[in-house]
Structure 1
Amino acid sequence: MSTLTFQGAVGEVTGSRYLLEVDGDGRQHALLLECGLHQGGAEADRANARPLGALAKRLEAVVLSHGHLDHSGLLPKLVREGYRGPIHCTRDTAELLEIMLQDAAFVMAKDIEFENKWRKRADKPLVEPLYTIDDVADTLALCVPHGYGQPVNLPGDVTLVFRDAGHILGSAIVELMVPSGGRQRHLVFSGDLGNPSSVLMKDPETLHEADLVLMESTYGDRDHRPLEETLEEFAQVLDEAQAAGGNVLIPAFAVGRTQEILYHLSVLYHEGRLKQQVVFLDSPMAIRVTELYDRLRNSLNRDDLKVLNVAAQGDPSQYLPILRLTRSVEESMAINRIHGGAIVIAGAGMCNGGRILHHFRYNLAKPSTRVVIVGFQAAGTLGRALVDGAERVKVLGEELPVKAKVHTIGGFSAHAGQSELIGWAGAFRNRPLVYLVHGEPEAQRVLQRALADAGIDAEIPDFQDCIPL
């Protein structure tokens, strides 16, 4: 009998990982679905530090739904500790991984260097990063890219097919046909399902056949506001910031959210509604990803691209003429000499590192500043503290008063809302059992009740639960 063990993204939205042990061709095979980084404070750091060597040596294949670090960010650690098999992903995900994992290793090296300075002064043992840029290179060499809809043979007579999840570039719903107990079992993992209202991405594919479904539940407790209302709210915040004489700070997820925000700013600019004088994209990784999105535009929604082409008369350089790309540290530091009239999009999306922290240091204590939160903020992150209304926060070792106005605009989310999740799950025939993953406990409980009202059975697994297929 084949089994599935829940090793991550259980009761949380990060650290996605599921172990599939397959009773195929007369012997046991171990496959891993996802290998994500935990995000959100000391507990997440401890989870990331757990050894993976024993797992790495058992595995014959890894399957990845998409490139976000909470799904892929521990792959180089897995490789560092002994994994040498293939990493199956979509073609666009393979290209994104190069940017994402290299940046993660670079940031990690900088953080460790900073931490070891005070450890040395305090005569404490030095620490090592989870992985290095060399481990990233070894990881990328193992990636095996595939197109959507293309059947792939895995060890143990397992068949893999990727379907478009509509979340970010290359994101996939994972279909696995798994032999178990003398017959084939159909396992479907939603990955991160896209928000149909989002621009640039195509809508998530709807599937109809499954025996078992793993479904994300990030926004299981709510629906997003309609896009039209969201855009009006966004425009109003920008107007208020300009009238108050302050800057707008947007903590940006480098993949997906940044490109969508730039799209909407472009539309506002060409409608004559954007009053700010300059927009800074202050994230080397987000810049590289934005350039990749432009190069792989054939993967994007053509109707949305048509809107930009019309607005800019077909010239990509004119999509947003007031956009400035700040790659160097010196260019980033210079932004903080601007006291008003600027929009600053900077990483990291959950405010747990990156250049956004430096902009907080100069702007968070000003009542004229507007902070616009456009993505999910995990428990334990600085972004979550701001969303929850913290009056004081610690930034780069310094405690700051939060005088800026913080706006959460959930309609920009790249995740499906509750209604979309129920609709997607409800499309399966024969009522497969649904397991809710990648969500915080309250959101999962609310979604479980809503699914039950729709006649869909759903369970909420615990960490290390093992279920037969």
Structure 2
Amino acid sequence: MRITFCGAARTVTGSCYLVECADTRFLVDCGMFQGSDENLFERDSFPFNPSDISFVLLTHAHIDHSGRLPLLLKCGFSGKIYCTSATRKLSDIMLLDSAHIQEMEAEWGYKKAKRGSGKAYKPLYDTIDAAKCSKRFVSIPYDKVKKLAPSVSVRFRDAGHLLGSAHIEVWLKEGGVEKKIVFSGDIGNKNQPIIKNPTIIEEADYVLCESTYGDKFHSEDSSRFSSLDRAKKLAEIIDRTFSRGGNLVIPAFAVGRTQEILYLLYMIHKKKLLPYKVPTFIDSPLGIKATDIFSASSVECYDSESSRLVANGENILHFPTLLIAETQEESQKINGFPDPCVIISSSGMCNAGRIKHHLKYNLWRSES
């Protein structure tokens, strides 16, 4: 048995483990390297032969864990990619979005190179590669042991990080010896809106655990807040902003954070925490698609509070004053909206996407 770290070692992104046991070689995650010090166009190879990989286990859909799967396929991988159902659906849209961004950035770099002010790049993969990759995904339900090779069995457990995210328990057999290895993936906090708390795994021979915040101490106060507590805090911010006649602009990751905010706004409407309507724009094509997937994944992934509401016929990610801006033209029209409003847009880091023009229009306004 052998495990090789092929990413997310000495850096946060690019998660990828190569596991070798008996005659089977497989990966756990195959993520994109991200950050200002990383040039994603130069990470176009692997420290192993992709054609030798039997299958991939995917912990969740975030690009730093899934983003190089189409490249793996492009370089010769022909096996299956195992994950939960929600992860499969989210990966479909996120990998296509990643390919589209790369194509645009490569085109922009080519134009700069023609002017003599930059370097031309080729995208790691294009939208055709991403579409081919989506056909390799196979869903495995939570909490079910699945034998994938004579020497390898796995079980996905809810990690509470993102819809469909998982810790993966892996049992390896070689030379008459069996070992249990747990790959944590990214671990969620307790009492997050919508999704369940992380599953506690009681035993393992080895644990490979994410440590993004390994040197930080976090107050337990945040995990004690209920969704209603969070909704009340958000209502206070909205009321303070609207009373000045301003807009509340919320940069949000399209997958995960956008849906959490929509849920809190739903609660503000449902509980009548404000005496007036709250016009809200969701201005992110990827966020809109992800919200549809969240809405269709309640049975497997929602916590007890959210599941109870859905069972009573509630759409917890929608409310009467929610407005969708899907096209670029619809996005630009938000700037002319006559009343104070909430604008949820991406990217969450404010370094790309439609959020940039909303910030440009609103940051200088003292009332916003």
TM-score by length of 2: 0.89
Q: Tell me whether 1:114 sits opposite 2:108 in the alignment.
A: yes
Deviations 1:368-422 (A, max 9, x none): 33xxxxxxxxxxxxxxxxxxxxxxxxxxxxxxxxxxxxxxxxxxxxxxxxxxxxx
Q: C-alpha displacement at 1:46, in angstroms? A: 4.7
Q: Tell me whether 1:301 sits opposite 2:303 in the alignment.
A: yes
Residue 359 of structure 1 aligns with which residue?
A: 358
Residue 6 of structure 2 aligns with which residue?
A: 7
**Counterpart amino acid of residue 234 in structure 2:** F
Q: How does 1:20-31 map to 2 (within 5 A)?
A: 20-22=19-21, 24=22, 27=23, 29-31=24-26
Q: Tell me whether 1:96 sits opposite 2:90 in the alignment.
A: yes
Q: Tell me whether 1:147 sits opposite 2:120 in the alignment.
A: no
Q: Tell me whether 1:80 sits opposite 2:74 in the alignment.
A: yes
Q: 1:35·1:73 contact (CA, 8 Å) conserved in 2? A: yes
**Counterpart amino acid of residue 20 in structure 1:** V
**Counterpart amino acid of residue 260 in structure 2:** E
Residue 33 of structure 2 aligns with which residue?
A: 38
Q: How does 1:290-329 map to 2 (within 5 A)?
A: 290-299=291-300, 300-307=302-309, 314=313, 316=315, 319-329=318-328
Taking the aligned partners of 1:341 and 1:316, their CA distance within structure 2 comes to: 24
- Change in Cα spacing, 1:199 to 1:230, as seen in structure 2 (3 Å) is closer
Q: Tell me whether 1:223 sits opposite 2:219 in the alignment.
A: yes
Question: What SS class does the counterpart of residue 242 from structure 1 fall into?
Answer: helix
Residue 290 of structure 2 aligns with which residue?
A: 289
Q: 1:346·1:356 contact (CA, 8 Å) conserved in 2? A: yes
Deviations 1:110-156 (A, max 9, x none): 22222322222227553211111111122111112111122222346
- Change in Cα spacing, 1:318 to 1:284, as seen in structure 2 (3 Å) is closer
Residue 240 of structure 2 aligns with which residue?
A: 240
- Change in Cα spacing, 1:80 to 1:364, as seen in structure 2 (3 Å) is farther
Decide which moves more: 93-102 or 352-361: 352-361
**Counterpart amino acid of residue 325 in structure 2:** T
Taking the aligned partners of 2:277 and 2:352, their CA distance within structure 1 comes to: 26
Residue 249 of structure 2 aligns with which residue?
A: 249
Q: How does 1:46-61 map to 2 (within 5 A)?
A: 46=40, 49-52=43-46, 54-61=48-55
Question: What SS class does the counterpart of residue 336 from structure 1 fall into?
Answer: helix
Taking the aligned partners of 1:318 and 1:54, their CA distance within structure 2 comes to: 43
Q: 1:6·1:19 contact (CA, 8 Å) conserved in 2? A: yes
Taking the aligned partners of 1:358 and 1:111, their CA distance within structure 2 comes to: 18
Residue 160 of structure 2 aligns with which residue?
A: 166
Q: C-alpha displacement at 1:195, in angstroms? A: 2.2
**Counterpart amino acid of residue 26 in structure 2:** L
Q: 1:60·1:155 contact (CA, 8 Å) conserved in 2? A: no
The gaps in structure 1 that reach 5 residues or longer are 370-469
Question: What SS class does the counterpart of residue 285 from structure 1 fall into?
Answer: helix
Q: C-alpha displacement at 1:57, in angstroms? A: 2.7
Q: C-alpha displacement at 1:178, in angstroms? A: 1.4
Q: Tell me whether 1:177 sits opposite 2:171 in the alignment.
A: yes
Counterpart selection for 2:196 from 194, 198, 202: 202
Residue 63 of structure 1 aligns with which residue?
A: 57
Question: What SS class does the counterpart of residue 316 from structure 1 fall into?
Answer: coil
Q: C-alpha displacement at 1:326, in angstroms? A: 0.9
Question: What SS class does the counterpart of residue 195 from structure 1 fall into?
Answer: coil
Question: What SS class does the counterpart of residue 163 from structure 1 fall into?
Answer: strand
TM-score by length of 1: 0.71
Please provide the CA RMSD for this pair: 2.5
Taking the aligned partners of 2:330 and 2:254, their CA distance within structure 1 comes to: 18
Q: 2:263·2:316 contact (CA, 8 Å) conserved in 1? A: no
**Counterpart amino acid of residue 239 in structure 1:** D
Residue 273 of structure 1 aligns with which residue?
A: 273
**Counterpart amino acid of residue 255 in structure 1:** V
Residue 342 of structure 2 aligns with which residue?
A: 343
Q: C-alpha displacement at 1:181, in angstroms? A: 5.6
Larger RCO (CA under 8 A, 6+ residues apart): 1
Q: 1:17·1:36 contact (CA, 8 Å) conserved in 2? A: yes
The gaps in structure 2 that reach 5 residues or longer are none
Taking the aligned partners of 1:230 and 1:204, their CA distance within structure 2 comes to: 20
**Counterpart amino acid of residue 167 in structure 2:** I
Question: What SS class does the counterpart of residue 273 from structure 2 fall into?
Answer: coil
**Counterpart amino acid of residue 241 in structure 1:** T
